[in-house]
Amino acid sequence: MPGWAILMNFLRRQAYSIAARAWVRPWLNWVFALSLDTRNKLLYGPSAPLYAERIWINPKQIEQVITGIDSYSGRVVSAWPPKNARKAKALRSTTQVASCVSHWLHGVPWKETAGYQRQLKLLENNGICWDADCFSEHDVADKYRALDEIYGEARRMVRLKTREELDVAAFREHGTFLVHGGPRGKCYLGGHGYHRFSIALVLGLPLVPAQLGCVYKKAIPYLKHLRHNSAPQSELPQSPP
């Protein structure tokens, strides 16, 4: 693809993204939430899931990832796995999580991780990394440098911030990683937000905010355990010196 075409595609993408954040997306979130929340309450009662609802999860209790259903936030499904979902895979086998663990836990430089190399490969093949809006290796390096800053802040605070703390205009917990609720209340990570989730996993944070994904109908009663943001004192990691 010619350089000018790549640039025009990027500018259109950015213009849409800015407009969506400023006006379109907030209204769509409210409209969609009103519709879905009302339907869920009527069908499943007061404990029904909400669109983009904030839940609190222990990262160490999540062992698998399910992709293909990232638009299912707050939806109740009668079959598991849900329609359109890809086969569940081991959490630590994903490139992003494995790269984060290698870097933050074992000290492997970002440039030597599979995630970093994947970004460079996308640049080589397409001229841009659409998922990270990176045009060059310098952009990729900046992205990973920013991740280190987020990790450092979380380490100092001994917690992850909620979406409301990060953006006062945020709608509930929309924009962070999704966690789906399966049979017997088992939690599955959704298809994005791996880096933020990995920060919590590596730091050993016992309870972090997440966006509720889809919920298996018979697992609705388990939601009450995910709606509380308190962890036993014995599980809280010590703040670093």
Evaluate whether 66 touches 237 at the Cβ level (below 8 Å). no
Of the candidates 213, 241, 204, 234, the residue with the CA atom closest to the CA atom of residue 53: 213
pLDDT tier for residue 233 given thresholds of 50, 70 and 90: very low
Q: What is the mean pLDDT of residues 40-53?
A: 97
Q: Flag whether 62 is in a domain.
A: yes
Q: What is the mean pLDDT of residues 230-239?
A: 46
Q: Flag whether 214 is in a domain.
A: yes
Please determine, for residue 49, whether its predicted confidence score (pLDDT) is greater than 80.
Answer: yes
Q: Flag whether 23 is in a domain.
A: yes
Please determine, for residue 174, whether its predicted confidence score (pLDDT) is greater than 50.
Answer: yes
Evaluate whether 59 touches 100 at the Cβ level (below 8 Å). no
Q: Flag whether 241 is in a domain.
A: no
Q: Give how many domains the chain has, as a whole number.
A: 1
Residue-wise pLDDT for 90-106, tens only, equals 999 999 999 999 999 99
Q: Flag whether 104 is in a domain.
A: yes
pLDDT of residue 70: 85
pLDDT of residue 136: 82
Domain that includes residue 74, residue range: 3-235
pLDDT tier for residue 224 given thresholds of 50, 70 and 90: very high
pLDDT of residue 55: 97
pLDDT of residue 126: 77
pLDDT tier for residue 153 given thresholds of 50, 70 and 90: very high
Q: Flag whether 240 is in a domain.
A: no
Q: Flag whether 11 is in a domain.
A: yes
Please determine, for residue 228, whether its predicted confidence score (pLDDT) is greater than 90.
Answer: no
Mean pLDDT of the residues in the chain? 86
Q: Flag whether 157 is in a domain.
A: yes
pLDDT of residue 19: 47
pLDDT of residue 229: 81
